[in-house]
Structure 1
Amino acid sequence: MFIKPAPGIMLRDPETRQFVPETGQEVGDFDLYWVRRINDGDAIKVSGPQPETPPAKAVKSA
């Protein structure tokens, strides 16, 4: 599953000891640590990584 920290929460990955980026990260579907974080409201389950859209290019008219 893909999770993101809840707004205002600094969420640490217990395996890497690094903070989860605001853009989110993939975690195990049945990992009880992450299920508890979601149930406590510290993490939010999202559908997947949000792709960054490139800036629109200006189109020149002929």
Structure 2
Amino acid sequence: MAKIFGVAFAKKSASRSIWRRSIGRGEIAYLVHSAFLRRSLTEVHRLLVVHFMENEVVVET
């Protein structure tokens, strides 16, 4: 288990660098490698926010 911004992520397998978190009906997979881990927390947070916003749907009524 790893925690990014207080959220638990479980590693899928020892041979792969893929981290997963179930969210509702869907599942988001993060590719984690040394370059990603070396980024600043600000950059990691920005990438996560962009990823979550890309998966949101806005329905106007």
Per the normalisation by structure 1, the TM-score is 0.28
Which structure has more RCO (C-alpha within 8 Å, separation ≥ 6)?
1
Larger Rg: 1
Q: Which has the higher strand share?
A: 2
Per the normalisation by structure 2, the TM-score is 0.28
